[in-house]
């Protein structure tokens, strides 16, 4: 974040900047002018963000502390968002590209553009998109699952069984239930470690020529909470570690 002295509202001068930011998977969060004078309005201050696991609220504050408006960002993890906040995405499960193109071709665009109301074009395009790629509200369960892609359907079943054993342990408080729960929990954690290790090994192997995705994977690993599972990730597979070593050697 800061004053970059590059006006992102000027499409002619921002192309190299866009390409650089895209290579790092960064997205600008400030979309309105941050420096406003009597004869100009420029967007030269910004906050860039590259996390897919967080929900952000950002903008400018109207305050005369300086000739640049102060910018702000509020960050929340998707998994810990308040219930009133809904996350949406386009549902491509039944998407038919040919059907969508036919709908666009069937529109009388001359009458749309002849309409002095600028909203008519936006409404027409939005209606076609909503009809072919409807907006779906994501459930908390789904948001949590995509933040940990190594959690397979089999592991989810194991988690459910583990929760049942834990409830039984709490209700009975017996030594037998405690041993059974502890044994199953250790096996479950071991499976999660193996699945996580295999996921990142495949991820780096598939993206060994894609610098942007390699950086994304490195940041994901760094942001993980330290655990025995993360240690096994580093020790378990030489190819993953080798990819990281080669990449760091190149950039250094």
80-91 pLDDT, tens digit per residue, is: 556 666 777 888
pLDDT band per the 50, 70, 90 thresholds, residue 23: low
- Bridge-based pairing of strands 54-60 and 48-49 is unpaired
141-144-150 Cα angle (round to 5): 115
Q: What is the pLDDT of residue 24?
A: 59
**Sign (positive or negative) of CA dihedral 85, 91, 97, 99:** negative
Domains of the chain by residue range: 2-80, 92-133, 148-251
Judge if pTM exceeds 0.75.
no
């Amino acid at each position: 974040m800061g004053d970059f002295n590059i006006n992102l509202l000027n499409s002619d001068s921002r192309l190299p900047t866009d390409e650089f930011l895209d290579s790092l998977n960064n997205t600008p969060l400030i979309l309105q002018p941050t420096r406003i004078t009597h004869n100009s309005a420029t967007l030269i201050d910004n906050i860039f963000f590259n996390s897919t696991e967080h929900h952000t609220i950002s903008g400018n504050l109207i305050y005369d502390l300086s000739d640049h408006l102060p910018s702000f960002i509020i960050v929340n993890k998707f998994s810990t968002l308040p219930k009133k906040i809904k996350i949406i995405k386009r549902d491509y499960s039944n998407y038919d590209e040919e059907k969508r193109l036919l709908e666009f071709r069937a529109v009388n665009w001359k009458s749309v553009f002849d309409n002095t109301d600028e909203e008519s074009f936006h409404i027409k395009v939005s209606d076609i998109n909503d009809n072919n790629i409807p907006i779906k509200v994501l459930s908390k369960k789904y948001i949590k699952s995509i933040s940990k892609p190594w959690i397979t359907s089999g592991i989810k079943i194991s988690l459910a069984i583990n929760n049942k054993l834990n409830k039984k342990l709490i209700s009975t408080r017996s030594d037998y239930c405690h041993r059974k729960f502890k044994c199953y929990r250790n096996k479950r954690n071991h499976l999660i470690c193996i699945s996580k290790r295999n996921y990142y090994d495949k991820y780096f192997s598939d993206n060994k020529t894609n610098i942007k995705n390699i950086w994304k994977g490195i940041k994901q690993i760094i942001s993980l909470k330290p655990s025995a599972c993360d240690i096994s990730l580093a020790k378990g597979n030489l190819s993953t570690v080798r990819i990281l070593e080669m990449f760091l050697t190149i950039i250094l």
